[in-house]
Amino acid sequence: MSSRRKFLQNTMLLGAGLSMPSVLTAADFGTFTRKIKPSDQLNYGVIGCKGMGWSNMNAHLKIPNVNCVALADVDQSVLDQRSEDIFKLRGTRPKQYKDYRKMLEDPDIDVIIIGTPDHWHCLNMVDAVSAGKHVYVEKPIANTIEECQIMVKAQERYGKVVQVGQWQRSGSQYDQAINYVKSGKLGQIRLVKCWAYQGWMKPVPVQPDGPAPEGVDYDMWLGPAPKRPFNPNRFHFNFRWFWDYAGGLMTDWGVHEIDIALYAMGVSAPKSIMASGGKFAYPDDASETPDTLQTVYEYDGFNMLWEHATGIDGGNYGTTEGIAFIGNNATLVVNRGGWKVIPETETVEGERKPKVEEVPHTRPTGSALDAHAVNFVESVMANDPSKLKCAIQTGSVAAINAQMGNIAYKTGKKIYWDAANNRFTDADANDLMKAHYHNGWQVPKV
């Protein structure tokens, strides 16, 4: 036990870049890590390798006992590109798969990273844990509330370590901000604001349907989503803006910010939700999800406001994204750039004084994504899900709350959550909780 603990400590230091040389060739890396016993190595496979799937794998490859041995993707060009990327990093080439289920049959794979579009996450994760693999699944964990709940049940049934890629949980500034909120220094918190203003997002130009690119298994890409002709707007990154596959900025950015907000406030489910928005900035572009949205969540003792806008950067407190905890004594603002406390003032003996001490802008230290990867590896090596910064149960809370915001938007109603019965009081809202699979795929049963 003490030997394993020492190995873990050394591995975590190496993963954090504290003692390993900063620049290594693939050959150097092999020499540097050759002393790691096979029993202490973790073999990874990736499902969905282009965007965050690769970013997550790349972060894990900074940890010496992690190997990437297999890649699954529907796009052959992506498979070839990532195989070369891994060869440059490690001097080995992973096996390639077009069908991830074949990859899961390999008993030598310990861990699966899931970087597919949202509508695939539930199937990928349930299949992976049932095959005995630990999982790192990209956020949001699923595209419906029903799928979120299925994924939690699957982890609990199979007992594997499942981390959600809500890596802000591993950011130093968020940890500091959450501790400050929980200290009570802000006073009674009446409102929490979460926002994402994304000026880089321009209109998605309308394009005609056409054939899928050569080397792409488009039917596999669609999977359980409704059958549609191939359109480049719905493929790769832009799938986020179409309801068949994802939930727009509400789920793409919302889960990150809402996660921190709810964790700091110690709540998990709202009493009511209402939302208003639409395609106000780019009414004629190809996307479906709203480019402008305000969502109000009611919790015991406070409200939370989510808002997003594409094409503009003028967010709250001069930041494009973040969370603000607005209390009677002060407001705390935190985002990926750091955190600060803005005091309220009061008159004391004829002089205006701050109610609490100002906290100047404090920048984060290190890479939160890298730290999130280290936390996952540490938890896998210990076979202990309780060590995770963002276990599937935690990730489900943010994802479900974000889905609730989209459901309120789609119904156009103020909807109420019946926590005792795990459903809304509105029939239309309850229908939108459900997953509907197509093309012969079945909603997983756990």
d(CA 254, CA 140): 9
| Residue type, position 211, single letter | P
Whether residues 103 and 199 share a domain: the answer is: no
Please tell me the predicted confidence (pLDDT) of residue 27. 52
Smallest CA-to-CA distance from 140 within 118, 123, 125 is with 118
Whether residues 155 and 130 share a domain: the answer is: yes
We report the CATH number of the domain holding residue 151 as: 3.40.50.720
Whether residues 125 and 153 share a domain: the answer is: yes
d(CA 233, CA 256): 24
Q: Is residue 304 part of a domain?
A: yes
d(CA 439, CA 437): 7
Smallest CA-to-CA distance from 115 within 42, 43, 164 is with 164
d(CA 118, CA 141): 7
d(CA 259, CA 245): 21
Whether residues 187 and 100 share a domain: the answer is: no
Q: Is residue 440 part of a domain?
A: no
Q: Is residue 442 part of a domain?
A: no
| Domain limits for position 74 | 2-169+372-394
We report the CATH number of the domain holding residue 351 as: 3.30.360.10
Please tell me the predicted confidence (pLDDT) of residue 1. 40
d(CA 258, CA 140): 11
Please tell me the predicted confidence (pLDDT) of residue 15. 44
Q: Mutual orientation of helices 145-158 and 392-411 as an angle, nearest 10°?
A: 170
Going from the C-alpha of 236 to that of each of 77, 197, 225, the distances in angstroms are 12, 22, 15
Dump the DSSP string for 197-226: EETT----------PPPTTB-HHHHHTTSP
Dump the DSSP string for 168-202: GGG-HHHHHHHHHHHHTTT-SEEEEEEEEEETT--
Whether residues 218 and 236 share a domain: the answer is: yes
Q: Is residue 385 part of a domain?
A: yes
Q: Is residue 116 part of a domain?
A: yes
Whether residues 188 and 156 share a domain: the answer is: no
309: CB partners within 8 A, 6+ apart: 196, 197, 198, 281, 291, 292, 293, 315
Smallest CA-to-CA distance from 374 within 237, 382, 183 is with 382
Q: Is residue 444 part of a domain?
A: no
| Residue type, position 207, single letter | Q
pLDDT in tens, the chain (446 residues): 444 444 454 554 444 443 343 444 555 555 555 567 787 899 999 999 999 999 999 999 999 999 999 999 999 999 999 999 999 999 999 999 999 999 999 999 999 999 999 999 999 999 999 999 999 999 999 999 999 999 999 999 999 999 999 999 999 999 999 999 999 999 999 999 999 999 999 999 999 999 999 999 999 999 999 999 999 999 989 999 999 999 999 999 999 999 999 999 999 999 999 999 999 999 999 999 999 999 999 999 999 999 999 999 999 999 999 999 999 999 999 999 999 999 999 999 889 999 999 999 999 999 999 999 999 999 999 999 999 999 999 999 999 999 999 999 999 999 999 999 999 999 999 999 999 999 999 999 99
Tokens coding 329: 């004594």
Whether residues 335 and 226 share a domain: the answer is: yes
Q: Is residue 446 part of a domain?
A: no
Whether residues 117 and 209 share a domain: the answer is: no
Please tell me the predicted confidence (pLDDT) of residue 37. 79
Whether residues 378 and 302 share a domain: the answer is: no
Do residues 310 and 198 make contact, with C-beta atoms less than 8 angstroms apart?
A: yes
Whether residues 139 and 177 share a domain: the answer is: no
pLDDT tens per residue across span 312-347: 999 999 999 999 999 999 999 999 999 999 999 999
Whether residues 206 and 338 share a domain: the answer is: yes
Whether residues 91 and 188 share a domain: the answer is: no
Angle at 218 between CA 215 and CA 223, to 5 degrees: 140
Tokens coding 354: 């701050």
Tokens coding 350: 């004829």
Please tell me the predicted confidence (pLDDT) of residue 17. 44
Neighbours of 141 (CB within 10 A): 29
Please tell me the predicted confidence (pLDDT) of residue 23. 44
Query: HSE-up of 210 (CA within 13 Å, CB side)?
Result: 8
d(CA 172, CA 100): 35
The structural domain count of the chain equals 2
Smallest CA-to-CA distance from 7 within 47, 35, 44, 49 is with 35
